[in-house]
Each structure stands twice: as C-alpha cells, then as structure tokens.
Amino acid sequence: MSQLTRRAALAAPLALATPALAQAYPTRPITMIVPFAAGGPTDTVARLIAQEMGRDMGGSVVVENVGGAGGTLGAQRVATARPDGYTILCHHIGMGVIPSLYRRLSYDAVNGFEPIGMITEVPMTIVGKRDLPAQNLAELVALVRQRREGLNMANAGIGAASHLCGLLFQSALGVPLTTVPYRGTGPAMNDLVGGTIDLMCDQTTNTTEQIRAGTIRGYAVTTTTRVSSLPELPTAAEAGMPGFAVSVWHGLYAPRGTPAEIVTRLSTSLQKALAVPALVQRFNDLGTAPVTAEQATPAYHRQFWTADIARWRPVIQAASAYAD
C-alpha cells in the first residue's frame, strides 16, 4: 500500500463526518477550463487529471478550452465564475507571471482564485522544424545569428510558457526573432510539423512524441539534468547555453469564495488522481512526474504561487516587459 493509499484509507471514516455541503458535491459535471487551445501541453495535463478526478468524484470533469491572450481569457472566465466548485481552472507558470506582466486586466489575477493544489512541473525543450539545416544547438545558435528575423518562433501569447522561454532564448543570443502567437502550442505544433514555423520552445508534454517520431528536431531540454523520456537530448547547458534553465509548474484553481470544503474535496481528488499508476506512467512517458501529495494541497500551492509572483515581479520590472 503506498503512503497515499494508506492515508486515504485512514481518512475514510472522517469523510462520513464531512459537512452536508461537501457530501452533496458534485451533483453535476464540473467544468475544468484550460486557458489554451486543445491538443497542447496544458490540455494534455488537464485531460489526464480530469479523467481521474471525475472517476474519483463519481461524475465527470469536462475540459473546456478557452484559449487566447496568453492564458488570460480562460483565467478570467474562472475568476468571474460562480464560486460553487463547478468551474475550475488548470493553469501553469503564467499564474505567477501574469500579475506583473499585464497592467490592465478585467479580473483580479492574484485575489480572484482559491488555489486547490499543484499538479506537476514540466521541462521545456527547444525545438525546430524537421528540415532546419542546424543539426544541434551550436549550429542552431549560428543559424539564428545569421538569419535573425528571417526565422520565426511560435508561442502561445504573452505570458505563456513558450513566450517566456522564447524570450530567454532570444535574450541569451541577443537576437530578435519574428514571433508568431497562437491560442496554444497545440496548433503551433501542427505548423511546426508542417514547416510554416521554424522554432518553438515548448513543454515535453507536447514535444516528446514528435521528437521521438522525427517529425520535428529537438535541440535541447531546458532543465539542469536530462529527461529520461528523451535520453539523447542534451541539456541547454551541455549543448553550449550555460544557465539556460526553465521549467513549467501547473496548478488547479477555483474562483475566490469557493467554500473551503469544496476546495478540500477537489484537492483530495487531485491527490488521488496523481497517485493513479497509469497517470504516473503517462506523465513519465511525457518527461514529467506528479508533485507529492503535500504539494497538491491548497496551502502548499498558495505559498508556492505567492513566491513565484514575487520571483517574477522584479524580473519583469527590470526588463519593462509589460504586455500593454
């Protein structure tokens, strides 16, 4: 019996004593908003946990993609939804960046949410279209320096992980590229495979299978160690870009004012989902792993998120990298 399963077994008698509100929840499908297009990395993570959470809660958790504006449209939808537990948000590192990046938003990007729990942290990869002449990162750097704006780089809008990683890439090289925004890197990947996009920085949850199949080129992984699902892919540091490190954390949120018992119910369900062996295996295949049960709690998530907002604020201020 795993530690989590043991904890769940011990908690069972307590569940019988939970307040009536939580016992009656959920009585209808829960909508999980993904603030990016279908088929991308956030969508992949969301669908995997939604399926397991639905199973656990005896109902369905339906994923709805509300892409656009770097993830702010979907976040707004949840911040302004009824705080009844039937609309929740699956979002990533953008939640730490957007409060400083966007000076004008029609929702409260910090106080508009109740954190439910963290989900996973995903490495990013620097990838290019298959017929790009560069065979490795050193050759790519040379090509970028030579072709500059003649090369384009896709991202999922300002505040998306692909945007942040792309900015780091361009500033490490001191070269601006032509950026092409999408509603998510799912559709951007189609164009990278099709060859109308040259470059992208994206999460392993979206790039692993394409790199393995050879439909795109993988140049480097942006973590300090290699990922086991792509053992041939060097880290950016190994391939000649020391200090280039970025990974993407994900979390679940409810609208502010959602009753604590419901947030706890969702968090418990998330923790159970993250312990399901098939989900753990799928995450591993895509270069990631679930967070611990403790990290999938509202308290841990709130503390991590608050620290991440504080981490990004001076970086964005120093770069004057505002979205408006």
Our finding on whether 92 is near ligand ASP (CB under 6 A) is yes
Phi, psi of 200 (to 5 degrees): -160, 155
**Chain CA centroid to CA 204, Å:** 11
Number of Cβ atoms within 10 Å of the Cβ of 294: 11
The piece of 19-27, 110-118, 140-148, 183-191 that touches ligand ASP (CB under 6 A) is 183-191
| Contact indicator for 137, 68 with CB cutoff of 8 Å | no
Our finding on whether 204 is near ligand ASP (CB under 6 A) is no
Bridge pairing between strands 199-203 and 178-181: unpaired
Q: Give one DSSP letter per residue of 257-271, joined into a string.
A: T--HHHHHHHHHHHH
The piece of 52-60, 152-160, 285-293, 308-316 that touches ligand ASP (CB under 6 A) is 152-160
String of contacts with ligand ASP for each residue 47-86, x by CB under 6 A:
----------------------------------------
Our finding on whether 153 is near ligand ASP (CB under 6 A) is no
| Contact indicator for 311, 96 with CB cutoff of 8 Å | yes
The piece of 21-29, 156-164, 259-267, 268-276 that touches ligand ASP (CB under 6 A) is 156-164
Q: Is 165 or 241 the residue whose CB approaches ligand ASP more closely?
A: 165
How many whole angstroms separate alpha carbon 256 and alpha carbon 82? 9
What lies within 8 Å, CB to CB, of 97 at 6+ separation is 159, 164, 312, 316
Our finding on whether 167 is near ligand ASP (CB under 6 A) is no
- Nearest distance from residue 248's CB to ligand ASP, in Å? 7
The piece of 13-21, 23-31, 160-168, 232-240 that touches ligand ASP (CB under 6 A) is 160-168
- Nearest distance from residue 160's CB to ligand ASP, in Å? 3
Structure tokens at 281: 């295996």
- Give the chain's end-to-end CA distance (angstroms, integer): 52
How many whole angstroms separate alpha carbon 279 and alpha carbon 94? 24
Our finding on whether 186 is near ligand ASP (CB under 6 A) is yes
- Nearest distance from residue 43's CB to ligand ASP, in Å? 6
Q: Is 186 or 255 the residue whose CB approaches ligand ASP more closely?
A: 186
Count of residues making up the chain: 324
- For ligand ASP, which residue of 36, 169, 253, 300 counts as binding (CB under 6 A)? 36
**Which residues are at the interface with ligand ASP (CB under 6 A)?**
36-37, 40-43, 92, 155-156, 160-162, 184-186
